[in-house]
Structure 1
């Protein structure tokens, strides 16, 4: 496989997994969130990723999240299942279930906590990506796993050469390293990275790159039309949408992907509640943001960025 075997592109939410206040998987809210994404015209969705709190779910819950997503989306856009785990066998079992459930592709980081070296990373992905016939997306997430694929010369290219790998999600905090990934492999695999700003637009128009997979997808009213303008080669419209997205994201997320007002997932779910969106509650070890001053600050960002008005106009 290569980049031409899939049509993956554009703006994808890395979906949060809604939990009830009692910590149960909230299946009704999960379906409602997927319907919201469909109404917003997103180009794909990642489930059970970092934002989906895979780390606090049981294996059965992770499987159920995928099953519901495939059923609810019903082919309207790709559903990619996150299968990150501590061992290859765990990840392979999740991958095979996702394939049986009808997912359109798979994604995983290197094993968390382990700090594998380049040869170990290649061996891990070789085993995992070949365990099913589904197209596979490598996820570079140094903040979560303490290994930066883009920091190792030639490693992204080695991973791009694996048979079922068709994409790399590069979420390094070093933007120039992300550009290095685009330069090294975008002719062979699709690259999802940090492109939702004017610098990113220049890269998409001239160098390469395919999309953003964005924690929670709150920016969809700005990001979906941005990518549609990029596809139409309408740079002026894309710049305007990029500026609107940046006015939102830059006040909530730091360059290293930490949250401005709390841990990113707790901050996301607090913001979604303020917007009336079905994000649900976080699950321990995360804690909800309940401080009134921080909630007011988040609410101000949602208002001043124009997101509330944009959602109202679409609603």
Structure 2
């Protein structure tokens, strides 16, 4: 199906059993909760999805299962985080075969490519597929920044259509919109900056805590886009301690703990990740417990921007 680059797109966690196999039963529960809340797309195999630990067979299963669950209601997007151009092209082509509607792409993994190499990498993958692409720009975690000049070069690839902006610099939203207008859809990729960036023109939010709190996340987006900022801010202020769990090296463990608290996930992670222990676990659990206890009553937000 066609990707409409706007709205809330969860970077969903990958569910595992205690025996380290895919937990498709709990995965389906979570995906259905996302769809029911009104998300606008599903992103698989991102940082939260523990992409670096997944086998090709598991990626295939996750895409095919998600396509089956969403049943044409929203697009399914697969993240590409590969070490080689050849591997990225292969996965892009397989994603289309599996039924994915689009791709999200990080720069090359492990090797710190220069600007020319990074642009060439993106172009070669884009030219190998008809699927639309979102570039994931996260120099904080992955060491390579895709600059405005690099996006100017990438604009020749018509299927590079969106940007996940995770530089932590909110002024980049304005810079991108000022330079490129509507050439690229721009998504916030940092939970703690979401409302601010949408207020200044971001088209959507690739979210993390949405995995545990889908309705609250979509409500913030819909209210913001409807100009009902006071209502959006009230929910956002409640949400902030939870959103800060996303900007942490153990974000996967944090968010999976939150999913347990809201009944739509398990805590199982894939080694070398391990569940939190000790004082840090107590700290995170306290934030989650307090957030769940104070969970706001949401206004009717569905359809207010139709």
Same fold (TM over 0.5): yes
Does the CA-based 8 Å contact 1:201-1:238 persist in structure 2?
no
1:313 corresponds in structure 2 to none
Is 2:240 the counterpart of 1:249?
A: yes
Query: What is the RMSD computed on CA atoms of the aligned residues?
Result: 2.4
Q: Which runs of 4+ in 1 moved over 3 A?
A: 249-252
Uncovered stretches (5+) of structure 1, i.e. residues with no partner: 311-315
How far 1:175 moved relative to its partner? 2.2
Is 2:29 the counterpart of 1:32?
A: yes
- Separation in structure 1 between the aligned mates of residue 241 and residue 174 of structure 2, nearest angstrom: 20
CA offsets 1:196-227 (integer angstroms, 9 cap, x no match): 32x334312xxxx2100012413432231233
- Separation in structure 2 between the aligned mates of residue 167 and residue 141 of structure 1, nearest angstrom: 14
How far 1:6 moved relative to its partner? 4.4
Residues matched between the structures, number: 293
Does the CA-based 8 Å contact 1:196-1:246 persist in structure 2?
no
- Separation in structure 2 between the aligned mates of residue 7 and residue 252 of structure 1, nearest angstrom: 25
How far 1:239 moved relative to its partner? 3.6
Aligned pairs for 1:1-315 (under 5 A) are 6-149=3-146, 152-193=147-188, 196-197=194-195, 199-204=196-201, 209-217=202-210, 218-231=212-225, 234-235=226-227, 237-253=228-244, 258-259=247-248, 263-291=250-278, 293-303=282-292, 305-306=294-295
Gap change, CA 1:285 and 1:8, over 3 Å in 2? same
How far 1:184 moved relative to its partner? 2.6
Aligned residue for 1:169, secondary structure, equals strand
How far 1:20 moved relative to its partner? 1.1
Does the CA-based 8 Å contact 1:160-1:167 persist in structure 2?
no
Uncovered stretches (5+) of structure 2, i.e. residues with no partner: 299-306
- Separation in structure 2 between the aligned mates of residue 162 and residue 62 of structure 1, nearest angstrom: 26
